[in-house]
Every structure is written in C-alpha cells, then in structure tokens.
Amino acid sequence: MKAIVGTLVVIATLLGGYLPHGSFAILIQPLEVVIICGGAIGAYIIANPGWVVKAGFADSLGLAKPSPITKELYMEMIGLLFKIFNKARREGLMSIEADVEDPHASELFNSAPLVAADHHAVDFICDYLRLMISGASNPYQLEDLMILELDLHHHEALMPSGAIKNVSEGLPAFGIVAAVLGIIVTMNYLDAGPLEIAHHMSVALVGTFLGILIAYGFIAPMSAALAERAEAGSAFYGVIKTGLMANLNGYAPQVAVEFARKAIPSHERPTFAEVDEFLQSQK
C-alpha cells in the first residue's frame, strides 16, 4: 500500500506542476517507453541469473502488499519457540523429533500459522533443531554455522534489489538513447515548418524526461523498498537464531524467548508484558 501511495504522489505532483504550462498529450509517447523500458529490461535479463530476474519481478509486485514481517509474526514466532523449548525441556529433545521431521503435520507449528506459512523460516528452525537432536550440541560450532547461513541468506535476499538498483542507474542513459534516436528522426524533417520540427524535438526530449522520471521516481525507490524488506527478513532470521542459541546454551524457555524478544527491531518489538500475556494465553 505504501508503494502505491508513493507512486500516486509522484504522478499527481508531476502532473499538477506541468499541466498548467503544457499539454499532457505530448508526454504520451508509447514508442519512447518501448525503447527505454524494453532496453532496460533486456539489460536486466542479460546481467542477472535467472532466479534473480524472477525474484526481482515477483518481489516488485509484492510491494503492493504490506510487509509480511510484522509484530504479529514476531509474537507468533516467540510463542512457537517457547512451546518447542518447553516441550523439549520437559519431555526431552526426542519428543520434538516428529514435529521437526513433519512440521506441516505438527500441532506446534500449526499453532503459529503466520510462521508456518513461511517455509524458509520453518526449514531454518527444523534444520537446527534436527542437528541438536542428532547430537550437535557445541554452541560455538552451531552459531558459526548459523552466521554463515544467515550471511548467505542476507546476500541472496539483497541481490534482487541490487539488480533493480542497477536498472534505475541505467534508465537515464536509455532515455538519452531514445532522445538521440528522436533527434535522428527530426533530421528528416529539417525542410518542414518550424512547428513540425519543434514537435519532433519535443518528442525526442520526452525520451530523456521519461528515462529520468522512471529511474528516480519509480525504480530507484522500488529498489530501496526491496532492500528494506530484505533487511527486515534478515532481522527476523536473526531473532530465530538468538532464541535457538539461548536455548542451546541452557537457558530456561522463558529466558530464551526473552533473548529473542530483545533481538527484535525496536519498531516491531513487543514489550515484556505483552509477550508474557501472550505466552500465558498459549498455555
């Protein structure tokens, strides 16, 4: 929604400032758009691996929806970790083996539907719980492995936004290409009247205008928004890591999830009282 509102503000202010001085019709140049956007998309496809190309398109469309990383998601995650740690502490690590091997059929995971819907987060939790069940109890080695995996995840999560940022940086140049082509076309009309020449020159300049507008009015902000979501996703995994490591280091479930709560970014972090009340309601 935020992306839609921002886009509308850009368009409204642009037209509001231009229309009193000129005709909107001259700005409608489909062929200029084809040259600029087509060239940029082609370069985007050439420059990036297939999965990045696909993720870039999918994630950009996803900006029309609210961010999935919310306070409610964090609360569910804390509740899920508490239940897992509590069960393992009372009944032993082997008691959660069935939950880890088939989380989709697990009552524990299904009690947190927002978390269960994120299969990457579920896989991350289950993979490390499985290692713990298998006897990997050295906290330093497991933490190093988590850091390595999270660094890789963060790098990959940022690749689509970086690729789109490169597109935004190239769009003004494609706008210049469109303008140069427009000037070449104008050369064929030098024996026409001044109005005809002026019209073709205006069309050529629209190419430069569109390249700059699309780059800095839409694509660059989109890249920044995707990077922000990637950072939020990485923070979410960092919270899971903190909770798992606190549990592995022998802290009681209530204390382990407090470690996790403190790792939540401040603008989404619930208070201690909110978490306590939520956990009480889950018992």
* Residue 1: pLDDT band with limits 50, 70, 90: low
Interhelix angle for 71-91 vs 272-282, to 10°?
60
> What percent of the chain is modeled with pLDDT above 90?
67
What whole-number distance in Å separates Cα of residue 201 and Cα of residue 195? 10
What whole-number distance in Å separates Cα of residue 249 and Cα of residue 86? 14
Q: CA nearest 84: which of 96, 73, 72, 102?
A: 96
Q: What is the reported pTM? A: 0.86
> pLDDT by residue (tens digit) across 206-236?
889 899 999 999 999 999 999 999 999 999 9
Q: Which residues contact 73 (CB under 8 A, 6 or more apart)?
A: 114, 115, 236
Q: In the predicted model, is pLDDT for residue 254 greater than 70? A: yes
Q: In the predicted model, is pLDDT for residue 283 greater than 70? A: no
> pLDDT by residue (tens digit) across 155-212?
999 999 999 999 999 999 999 998 888 888 888 877 777 888 877 788 888 889 899 9
Cβ neighbours, 10 Å, residue 176: 15
Mean pLDDT, residues 80-90? 93
Domain boundaries, the chain: 27-283
Cβ neighbours, 10 Å, residue 273: 8
Distances (CA, A) of 268 to 74, 128, 259: 8, 25, 15
